[in-house]
Amino acid sequence: MLIWLGVTLLYPLVSSAALSLENVRIIGSAGRFVGLANYLSVLSSAAFWLALERSVVWVAGNAVAQTVLAMASALILEQAFPGVRVARTWIVLTWIVPTIVIVIVWRWLLSTSGGMINPFLIELGVIRRPMGFFSSSVSAMTTLILINSWRWFPFVAVMLLAGLQRIPGELYEAAAIDGASRFARFRRITLPLLQPTLFVLLVIGTLLSFNVFDIVWLLTGGGPADATTTLPILIYRTAFKGYRLSEAAAMSVIATLLLMGLAILAVRTLAPREEVR
């Protein structure tokens, strides 16, 4: 197992690190050792820091949107109502559909040449004329976050639902008898007892969100005008469009170290220390 992990995990990481110390441009071409030149270039590049900033916005936006959507869904699905079993099964639909299908569906829905969303919003009086959801920096990032959150919130909801179902019902009954309101029960019982689940989701969610490439690339390509160029997009473009493979490898190494550092910091500072009674 260790050998397998070493081969599949360590080898690519070490190869990337070695590549980052050379000046390889096109994949397959030769390069020579240049030491830390790529790292200096990357760390002094405005494009890198802007992409990192956008990645932070992306991660934070997804965390908020997905947590709100997932928590609301999980609280509803925890109730007993007709069809709850069907709902619990089919909520994962957006999660299991391939990304390319999701991209095609959303491009069509948001299109001004026949999509449903614009006429619907005009009918509701929200907008007066069709809008391009990817035509400005703010709307493009917001739309991407909402679409990605729509795609992934079922995964979070399923985890939260499992966490909710572990909370003893007697606690809620006792609180209700003591006169606690619904909100008070949510704040004093649900949230604290969900902490371990929320913590795991925070760490995993951050790592997964940060590395999302497909939906961003397919929907906006990092545009308009780089407004949605997160770090994974920049790395891909640098490697395969800019033909600066070693520089992209340096960015990847920096991103890996950042994420490792974040994960370690999160475990040390935010991990639940003891079972909340």
The kind and range of the H/E element at 32 are none
Which residue, 16 or 136, is less far from another protein as judged by CB?
Answer: 136
Radius of gyration of the chain (CA): 23
Member of 172, 186, 199, 243 binding another protein (CB under 8 A) = 243
Name the strand (E) or helix (H) holding 231: helix 231-240
Query: Rounded to the nearest whole angstrom, what is the least distance from the CB of residue 196 to another protein in the complex?
Result: 41
Q: Are 163 and 197 in contact (CB under 8 A)?
A: yes
Pull the structure tokens for residue 261. 């550092």
Residues 6+ apart with CB under 8 A from 48: 42, 231, 234, 251
Query: What angle in degrees, to the nearest 10, is found between the helix axes of 231-240 and 245-270?
Result: 160
CA 71 – CA 166 distance, rounded (Å)? 15
Q: One symbol per residue from 66 to 105: x for binding another protein (CB under 8 A), - otherwise; what is it?
A: ----------------------------------------
Close Cβ partners of 169 (under 8 Å, ≥ 6 residues apart): none
Please say which residue, 91 or 216, places its beta carbon nearer to another protein: 216
Does 26 interact with another protein (rule: CB under 8 A)?
yes
The minimum distance between CB 5 and another protein, in angstroms, equals 24
In the range 123-152, which residues lie near another protein by CB under 8 A? 129-137, 140
Among 111, 142, 195, 211, which residue interacts with another protein (rule: CB under 8 A)?
Answer: 111
Residue 27 interacts with another protein (CB under 8 A): yes or no: yes
Among 148, 237, 247, 248, binds another protein (CB under 8 A): 237
Which residues contact another protein by CB under 8 A?
26-29, 107, 110-114, 129-137, 140, 219-227, 237, 239-243
